[in-house]
Amino acid sequence: MKSLSALVFILCLPLGIFQQKDNTYLIEECVNNGYTQNSCEKVFCQPWQRCVDGSCFCKLPYQCPRNGTLVCSTEKRTLNYCQLKSLECQRKKSRFMNRGRCSSQETFQVSLKPENATSTGIIQVEVNQSPKTPVCGFNWGMNEANVACRHLGFPEGADRTDTVDPKEDSDSLECLKARCRGIETSLAECTLTRVNKTKEKVAKVVCHTTHRECSPREFRCVNRKCIPSVKTCNGVNDCGDLSDEVCCKACRGKNFHCHSDVCIPRRYVCDNEVDCLTGEDETRQECDKKRAEGNEHSEGTEDAEQSMDEERRKIKTLLPQLQCGIANHTVTRQKRIVGGFTAGKDEFPWQVAIKDVGTRVNCGGVYIGGCWVLTAAHCVRESRAHTYLVWTGMLNTVKQEDIIEAFQVVKVIVHEKYNTKTYENDIALLEMKPRDKNQSTCYPRDSVPVCVPWSKYMFKGGHQCKVSGWGLNEEFSTQFGLKWGYISLMENCSEIYGNRYFEGMECAGTHDGSVDSCKGDSGGPLVCFDSNNVGYVWGVVSWGENCGEKGHPGVYTKVAHYFSWIGRHTGLNHISRYNL
Ligand code: 4AZ
C-alpha cells in the first residue's frame, strides 16, 4: 500500500504543476496585460465603437452609417441598430427590444424560474404577452448563458451553464432555441427559434454574482470570474469578456489561431467577416481547407436573419475604410539596399526621398496619407523644415523622370523623446505643403499611402517584410535606382544589441546578413503585408552595427509602438484603416 501511494504521488506531482500553470496554451506575459474584447490591439472593435490608445470607445450615434435596419429600443425609441448600440454603449439604460419600428404591443421579458430565484434558474422568455416559454437546452452554451445573465442584470455573465429535465417544467409545450454570438447584451439580439418541446431538456444558468479566489486549475478572467483552465484558448468566450481567448500560443481542438494569438471558433473561418487583425481567417487557403473538411457547421445559417449578428456585419461593410497599402507586386528580379533587387514602377508607391538643399538624397521616408510623411528623427531637424523637399513618385535619383513631384515641407515634428545618442524614439513626421493653394490635402500623383499598424500584435518574429531605399549596396557604392529586399522580423533584439536596444525598436534581417538596409536607407520603410497583401509600415530604418554583417541585423523604429503619437499629430482619421 505504501509503495502504491508513493507511486501515485510521483505521478500526480508533475501533472499538478503542469496543470496549475497551463503553459501549453496561455502566454503569461500577455495575460498580465489584462486584454479583453475591448482591446483593439488584439481584436476589432464593434462597429459602434472606435479604437483609441488600444481600447474600444463608444462612438456617438451620429458617427453610425445612416442606412441600416430600424429597430425598437426598450425605451420605445425607433432608431437604427448602430445608433441604438452606440447609445447603449455609453451606459444609457436603453437596449435592444425588437426589429422594426416601435409599436404599442411589443414586449420582450426574460426571467428566471422559480420566480424567487435571484441568480440561478431556468431561463424563461416572454415575447409580446405570450406565455412564458423556457429556452431549450439544445446547444445551450456559454455564449448564450452569458447573454442571458447580462440581460438579467449580471454584467459579467454566467458562471456555469446547465440543462434540466422538462419534468421540472411541465407547464410549457414549447421551448425557444437560442443562438448567440456571445457579445449581445439582450437575448432579443440572438436568434430565437420556437420549437415543440417533447423530450427536450431546458436551459438553466448560474449567473455570476460574487467574486472568489480561483483554484489552481482555474483561469481568472479579467472580469474576475473563474473558469476551468481547460476552457481557455478553446474558441469559446467562456469569460464573457474574451479574456480567456486573447493570449494563446495555440488553440485547443480545431479552433483557429490568429497571428495576434487570439483563438476564434472554427465556424468564424471563411465566413466573410474578418476576425483576425491581419485577415488570415478569410484567405483562399483557409477557405479551401475548410471546404475540404466538409461543411460540418452548416446549421445555424438558415435562420440567421433573425439575429442581429447579420446586421452588425452589414454595418461593418457600410463604415468607411482608408485606402492604403495597395501596391503592384510585379517582382522585378534584377540583381542587386544590400543584397536586394531593383524596384519597378508602382511597387513601392509610398516610398519618398527626403532631400535637403545642397545635398544628395540621404534619407528615405514613407507616405502615410494626407500631407504626411513618416521618417527617422535622425534624418531631420525641426528648424530646417524650409530647406527640405519630399520627392514622391521617384525610382531613380539621377534620372529626372516626369512622374517625380517635389513637395515643400511646412512642418517637421520630431518625437519629443528622441535621443540623439541612443536613437531611442527615432521617428519624425513631415507635413508637406499642398502644391495647389486652394487644396488642403496633397494627393501626390503616383503615390499610395502605406497603412499604419495600430497593434504590436499584427506581425511577429519570422514574418518576412520588404525594406526599400536608395542607400548603399553590398559594395558600399551609392545607388541611384530604388532597391528593395526581403528581411525577417526578429524577436531577440535585446540578446543581440544588449543595452543599445530599447522598447520601440525592432530588429530585422536575414540569418546570414545577406540582405540589410544601409547608410542612406535611413527613414525609409520596412513594410509587412497582411493576408490580403495590404502593406503596413512596420518599421522605419534607424541604425545597425555596420551593414550586411551576419549576427548584426538592422534596427528599425517599431511604428506600431508610435501609433497613438502619429495619430495625435496627423489626426486619427488620417491613419486608422478601420472604424473612421
Ligand atoms: C546608417 O548609417 C545605417 N544595417 C542605416 C541602417 C543600418 C546601418 C546603418 C542597418 O544610416
**In-domain check, residue 87:** no
Ligand 1 in reach of 522 Cβ (< 6 A): yes
Chain mean position to CA 195: 38
Q: At 29, phi and psi to the nearest 5?
A: -60, -35
Ligand 1 in reach of 518 Cβ (< 6 A): yes
Among 277, 299, 318, where does a domain finish?
A: 318
Among 179, 206, 233, where does a domain finish?
A: 206
The string of pLDDT tens digits covering residues 236-278 is: 999 999 999 999 999 999 999 999 999 999 999 999 999 999 9
The string of pLDDT tens digits covering residues 426-470 is: 999 999 999 888 888 898 998 999 999 999 999 999 999 999 999
198, 204 contact by CB (below 8 A): no
pLDDT at 6 over 50: no
Ligand 1 in reach of 547 Cβ (< 6 A): yes
Cα–Cα distance for residue pair 543/554, rounded to 1 Å: 6
**DSSP secondary structure string for all residues of 524-575:** -EEEEE-TT--EEEEEEEEE-SSSS-TT--EEEEEGGGGHHHHHHHH-HHHH
Cα–Cα distance for residue pair 506/415, rounded to 1 Å: 17
189, 200 contact by CB (below 8 A): no
The string of pLDDT tens digits covering residues 142-173 is: 999 999 999 999 999 999 999 998 765 566 78
Give me the number of domains the chain comprises: 4
- Active-site residue, from 522, 530, 542, 574: 522
pLDDT of residue 335: 47
pLDDT of residue 3: 47
Among 206, 226, 256, where does a domain finish?
A: 206
The reply to whether 386 belongs to the active site is no
Beta bridge partners of 308: none
pLDDT of residue 423: 98
Ligand 1 in reach of 362 Cβ (< 6 A): no
Cell of 246: 486573447
The string of pLDDT tens digits covering residues 351-408 is: 999 999 888 888 999 999 999 999 999 999 999 999 999 999 988 777 767 678 999 9
- Ligand 1 atom closest to the Cα of residue 546 is 8
Residues 285 and 195 in one domain: no
Cα–Cα distance for residue pair 124/306, rounded to 1 Å: 19
**In-domain check, residue 83:** no
pLDDT of residue 330: 65
**In-domain check, residue 263:** yes
pLDDT of residue 304: 45
Residues 461 and 395 in one domain: no
- 264-273, 328-337, 352-361, 523-532, range with the lowest pLDDT: 328-337
- 219-228, 324-333, 379-388, 480-489, range with the lowest pLDDT: 324-333
- Ligand 1 mean position, distance from CA 422 (Å): 14
Which residues lie below 8 Å from residue 435, measured CB to CB, with a gap of 6+? 405, 407, 442
- The model's confidence at residue 297, banded by pLDDT at 50, 70 and 90, is low
| Structure letter (DSSP) for residue 29 | H
Q: At 304, phi and psi to the nearest 5?
A: -60, -25
CATH of the domain at 425: 2.40.10.10
Chain mean position to CA 246: 11
As a whole number, mean pLDDT of residues 224-243 equals 97
Buried b (16+ CB within 10 A) or exposed e, 128-159: eeeebbbbbbeebbbbbbbbbbbbbebebbbb
- Ligand 1 mean position, distance from CA 428 (Å): 17
The reply to whether 522 belongs to the active site is yes
Residues 462 and 557 in one domain: yes
Residues 407 and 368 in one domain: yes
| Structure letter (DSSP) for residue 437 | T
**In-domain check, residue 11:** no
As a whole number, mean pLDDT of residues 513-529 equals 96
Residues 527 and 463 in one domain: yes
Cα–Cα distance for residue pair 560/537, rounded to 1 Å: 8
H or E segment to which residue 146 belongs: helix 142-151
pLDDT of residue 289: 92
Cα–Cα distance for residue pair 65/63, rounded to 1 Å: 7
pLDDT at 305 over 80: no
Residues 264 and 228 in one domain: yes
Chain mean position to CA 130: 42
- The model's confidence at residue 332, banded by pLDDT at 50, 70 and 90, is low
pLDDT of residue 9: 47
**In-domain check, residue 330:** no
**In-domain check, residue 12:** no
Residues 432 and 457 in one domain: no
Closest CA to 505 of 567, 555, 544: 555
User: What are the CB-based long-range contacts (under 8 Å, 24+) for 150-155?
Assistant: 150/184, 150/185, 150/186, 150/240, 151/110, 151/185, 151/186, 151/187, 152/110, 152/111, 152/112, 152/119, 152/207, 154/119, 154/207, 154/208, 154/209, 155/223
Cα–Cα distance for residue pair 153/209, rounded to 1 Å: 10
**In-domain check, residue 81:** no
Residue where the block lists cell 534584377: 334
- Active-site residue, from 259, 378, 415, 574: 378
Residues 202 and 216 in one domain: no
pLDDT at 341 over 60: yes
The string of pLDDT tens digits covering residues 411-431 is: 999 999 999 999 999 999 999
Ligand 1 in reach of 44 Cβ (< 6 A): no
- The model's confidence at residue 21, banded by pLDDT at 50, 70 and 90, is low
Mean of pLDDT over the chain: 90
As a whole number, mean pLDDT of residues 133-141 equals 94
- Ligand 1 mean position, distance from CA 562 (Å): 21
The reply to whether 552 belongs to the active site is no
Cα angle 85-274-186, degrees, rounded to a multiple of 5: 25
CB atoms < 10 A from the CB of 381, how many? Answer: 14
- Ligand 1 mean position, distance from CA 523 (Å): 10
pLDDT of residue 180: 96
Nearest CA to ligand 1 atom 1: 519
Please classify residue 215 by burial: count the beta carbons closer than 10 Å to its beta carbon, then call 0-12 exposed, 13-18 middle and 19+ buried. exposed
Which residues lie below 8 Å from residue 62, measured CB to CB, with a gap of 6+? none
Residues 182 and 264 in one domain: no
**In-domain check, residue 525:** yes
- Active-site residue, from 159, 169, 238, 426: 426
Residues 390 and 484 in one domain: no
Give the domain range for residue 476.
449-561
Ligand 1 in reach of 510 Cβ (< 6 A): no
CATH of the domain at 144: 3.10.250.10
pLDDT at 4 over 70: no
253, 19 contact by CB (below 8 A): no
Residues 453 and 557 in one domain: yes
Residues 247 and 229 in one domain: yes
As a whole number, mean pLDDT of residues 8-17 equals 45
pLDDT of residue 365: 98
Quick one: angle between helices 81-89 and 309-318, nearest 10? 100
